[in-house]
Amino acid sequence: MKAPSFTSLAVVASALVSAVSAADLDPIVIKGSKFFFKSNGTQFFMRGVAYQGSVTNSSATDTFVDPLADADGCKRDVPLLEELGTNVIRVYAIDTTADHTECMQLLNDAGIYVVSDLSEPSQSINRDSPVWDDTLYTRYTSVIDALANHTNVLGFFAGNEVSNNASNTNASPFVKAAVRDMKQYISSSGYRDIPIGYATNDDAGIRTQLADYFNCGDASDSVDFWGYNIYSWCGDSSYTESGYDVRTTEFETYNVPSFFAEYGCNEVQPRPFTEVEAIYGKNMTSVWSGGIVYMYFEETNNYGLVTIESNGDAKTLTDFNNLKTELAKVTPTGVEMASYTPTNTAARSCPTSDADWSAATNLPPTPNKELCTCMLSSLSCVAASSVKDTDAADLFSYICGDAGIDCAGIIANGTTGVYGAYSMCSPLERLAWAMNAYYEENSSSSDSCSFSGSGTTQVAATATGSCSTLLSEAGGTAGTGTVTSLPSSTAKTTSSTSSDANAAGSVSAPTVSVGAFKIGASMLVAMLGGVALVLV
């Protein structure tokens, strides 16, 4: 059954109260393992569509189109989303400098909520060489700042399929640290309580460990909801043949809401979407909160519901009509918030380390730009503004490898759970730290900060006030302490990545992985464990 149009309801409301525009949507809240409308307490089930094209959460490209900044596109597409019965869209990357007001209002008036990923293609946690640093922190908080005041923002994803097989589970602590820090940021910034979640792939080897890991331990570090990207129902499959029955049993005791963050296998085309009846049927609605179909725009991957023609018009495809038909058949039965007493209250136990799982429960430190700036000012040798990415990689390799400098202060290891206090600083801030360590190890000789023009000396500042406190917590220049001070709330942050020209200038930070280090640097490789010294 098609959901009632919030546009028509708004017209009635406008006539009664002489309002100019539709009222803000009722925020969605969480109780136990379910979503509810805040005001009337009715259970909320996602009838969603992934609404963005040409975006992947990888560093392969720096370009993407922000659909929430395309007012003309929203005017064209929102009526079609309404026609489908959509009440949620998922977007994978937004431009935080753009104006989203018009699209968000159109979606609001149509009764459509938004779940937004916090990353973007060139700024996300890289599964192969993960880091959680002040550059990514600024990106993620800027997305929250851009969207938080819209009541139809349902939540944010701190990561999408980051650890996707047993070889890269050591990336998960960095994502979980992002979950922790974004929850804290929302609270300290005075925003309404907007949940933070994670979207996982369906890898049989680690699916259970991933779900347990992001739900275990302190609630302040754990996800508020769990998104599952699942494509196991293809064509005219069934509840049992697709494995939906097993997945449902696995999540019966999960204590936060879970839903399909992507679904819609296209091995059979056009897609019949027969899974819709199961997702919103009695076998699944007690556990799952609906799902999000991948995807709205037709591209070369043939997952689209709509084709955008050369003149800019939208043409619906057979998949669109099939999905519309199937969604119209379902009316999920839920519970009322007031009468619902959660029975799934216990967090999962953290998975144990084995051949398939190597994620430490100890998480990386919270990025703290003030600390990194203080550290940078305290150095006598720093990276020059002209340093090139390729030179930076070689410098890390030499200083922390062949030269034998102990770089524990800037290294983060998601397997052992050991993190230097400055491991969350930007790559070039960490490079400056490494250069300074080499400089001091060589008695601050006149040529030990040259690095063939990549280094430069400066007058080290004497730390006072909050800088003194932070550096003391960090263990001084060594960076082997533990910083307990949280960064000050900086709502409406800018997207700058460094406050010191000597540290970064206009140079993009390099991607540096274990493979970039010389084979002889066995000490460094052991400490890295495939992590750190990376900007993605």
- Model confidence pLDDT, tens digit, residues 209-259: 999 999 999 999 999 999 999 999 999 999 999 999 999 999 999 999 999
Residue 309 has pLDDT above 90, yes or no: yes
Residue 199 phi, psi dihedral angles, 5° rounding? -110, 120
Residue 159 C-alpha from the chain's centroid? 3
Indicate which residue of 161, 275, 298, 326 is catalytic.
Answer: 161
pLDDT band at 16 (very low <50, low <70, confident <90, very high): very low
DSSP string, 24-85: PPPPEEEETTEEEETTT-BEE-EEEEE--SS--SSTT-S----GGG-HHHHHHHHHHHHHHT
For the segment 172-222, what is each residue's pLDDT rounded down to a tens digit? 999 999 999 999 999 999 999 999 999 999 999 999 999 999 999 999 999
Pairing of strands 225-229, 196-200: parallel
Q: Over pLDDT 70: what percentage of the chain?
A: 85
Residue 262 annotated among the catalytic residues of the structure: yes
| Domains, the chain, with CATH or none | 28-339 (3.20.20.80), 369-474 (1.20.58.1040)
For the segment 373-387, what is each residue's pLDDT rounded down to a tens digit? 999 999 999 999 888
Indicate which residue of 82, 262, 326, 429 is catalytic.
Answer: 262
Residue 528 has pLDDT above 90, yes or no: no
Residue 161 annotated among the catalytic residues of the structure: yes
Nearest alpha-carbon partner for 254 in 346, 165, 340, 184: 346
